[in-house]
């Protein structure tokens, strides 16, 4: 199966794989365990100084931003470009939502959990997500051992009566599937994690329109190091509580990071509208298509691994039919690949099984090329040899 920032590869049967020719090379280990989006360096290196931004010594002294947003530390330039981006791409309805900025979606997850959890309760509210779920969910939910919420595992097996919070990751990390709520209880509260709902990964069939939606610049533009994310929130009180969580935990979000993110989003929007510029999403999608095609060729050349297939769908952004190209079975596929110097993330981390692994598709070209070469070298043994 296939992951969203990587591919979820499945080993197909029990016989032990052996190397074709010699894979005992001395080259470095290829780390494809996480979705570090260095693939995008090739686009941004061609942009030149269009994203340059200068800060003077007297800038960003105040805690407060210069806008009038409910989120008092949200820079107005970033708010403007977030709205513009969603309107240009058609990825989300923004007009009737409040914007809350955070240190990527990880902090926003915690803020949303805080805002949606009942204040007075005898026990923590259960938090669930359907398997395979994002591997960080269990750790994020229980890291501080909050009295407000607790991780309760797979949404498909959740039978408890009463209130709960369900995370819907769509497209899903790791398998790239468009998700809908699973529990569908009367007292459920939903958080949509839409980190990968962008044209290079998935077919944009309609703008998302949910009560709480989380986005991050990391997977949208590749600027993971800038650590900026945002939430679109319908309910004013929920947005206010999320802002309060950010205020208590970090007293806001870096202005420099926000303004850099605003500039990057501005350039991306311009690239979609200016025919003289290379369209960022079309460029990125072409990279993903190329990588997926090459990976499929390698997988088809042997019968050890299996990749998931995706249907053709009409994309509102590209105005044409496209296939999704997400950015991610021996009994222990992770161990098998590690023996060939390929570090991946086991399916067991996602609530799946160890015959699956997620492999990042967003690495630099040289790393991806080495990955394909090593994957091609793994073969099933013949006649017991």
pLDDT at 381: 53
pLDDT at 6: 55
Which CATH architecture group holds 60-273?
Answer: 3-Layer(aba) Sandwich (3.40)
pLDDT at 316: 60
Q: How many CB atoms lie within 10 A of CB 202?
A: 26
pLDDT at 216: 96
Q: What is the pTM of this model?
A: 0.85
The pair of structure tokens assigned to 134 is: 């994002």
- Spans of all domains in the chain: 6-44+278-379, 60-273
pLDDT at 322: 58
Coil, strand or helix at 22: coil
pLDDT at 318: 59
pLDDT at 12: 47
For residue 125, what are the β-bridge partners?
Answer: 149
Mention every residue, 6+ apart, whose C-beta is less than 8 A from residue 256: 55, 60
Mention every residue, 6+ apart, whose C-beta is less than 8 A from residue 71: 98, 99, 100, 101, 239, 242, 243, 246
The yes or no reply on domain 6-44+278-379 and CATH 3.30.110.40 is no
pLDDT at 2: 42
- The answer to whether residues 72 and 258 touch, using CB atoms and an 8 Å cutoff, is no
pLDDT at 47: 93
| Percent above pLDDT 70 for the chain | 84
Task: Please name the residue that has the structure tokens 């992770």.
Answer: 334
pLDDT beneath 50: ranges in the chain: 1-3, 8, 11-26, 329-330, 383-385
- The answer to whether residues 8 and 364 touch, using CB atoms and an 8 Å cutoff, is no
């Amino acid at each position: 199966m296939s992951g969203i920032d990587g591919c979820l590869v499945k080993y197909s049967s029990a016989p032990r794989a052996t190397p074709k020719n010699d894979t005992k090379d001395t080259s470095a280990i290829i780390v494809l365990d996480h979705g570090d989006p260095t693939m995008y360096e090739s686009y941004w290196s061609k942009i030149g100084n269009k994203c340059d931004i200068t800060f003077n010594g007297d800038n960003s002294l105040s805690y407060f931003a210069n806008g009038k947003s409910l989120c008092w530390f949200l820079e107005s330039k970033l708010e403007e470009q977030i709205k513009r981006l969603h309107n240009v791409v058609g990825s989300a309805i923004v007009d009737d939502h409040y914007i809350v900025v955070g240190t990527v979606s990880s902090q926003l997850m915690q803020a949303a959990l805080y805002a949606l959890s009942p204040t007075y309760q005898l026990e923590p509210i259960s938090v669930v997500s359907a398997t395979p779920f994002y591997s960080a969910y269990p750790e994020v939910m229980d890291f501080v051992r909050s009295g407000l919420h607790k991780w309760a595992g797979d949404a498909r097996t959740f039978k408890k009566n009463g209130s709960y919070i369900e995370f819907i990751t769509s497209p899903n990390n790791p398998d790239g599937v468009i998700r809908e709520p699973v529990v569908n209880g009367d007292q459920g509260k939903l958080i949509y994690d839409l980190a990968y709902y962008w044209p290079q990964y998935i077919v944009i069939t309609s703008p998302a329109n949910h009560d709480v939606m989380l986005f991050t610049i990391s997977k949208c533009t590749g600027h993971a190091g800038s650590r900026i994310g945002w939430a679109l929130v319908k309910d004013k009180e929920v947005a206010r509580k999320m802002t309060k969580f950010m205020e208590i935990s970090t007293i806001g979000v870096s202005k420099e990071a926000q303004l850099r993110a605003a500039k990057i989003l501005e350039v991306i929007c311009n690239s979609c509208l200016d025919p003289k510029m290379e369209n960022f999403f079309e460029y990125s999608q072409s990279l993903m298509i190329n990588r997926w095609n090459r990976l499929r060729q390698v997988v088809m050349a042997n019968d050890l691994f299996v990749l998931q297939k995706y249907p053709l769908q009409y994309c509102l952004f590209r105005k044409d039919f496209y296939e999704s190209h997400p950015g991610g079975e021996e009994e222990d596929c992770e161990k098998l690949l590690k023996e060939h110097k390929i570090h991946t993330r086991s399916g067991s981390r996602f609530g799946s099984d160890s015959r699956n692994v997620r492999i990042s598709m967003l690495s630099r070209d040289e790393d991806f090329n080495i990955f394909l070469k090593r994957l091609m070298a793994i073969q099933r043994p013949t006649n017991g040899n």
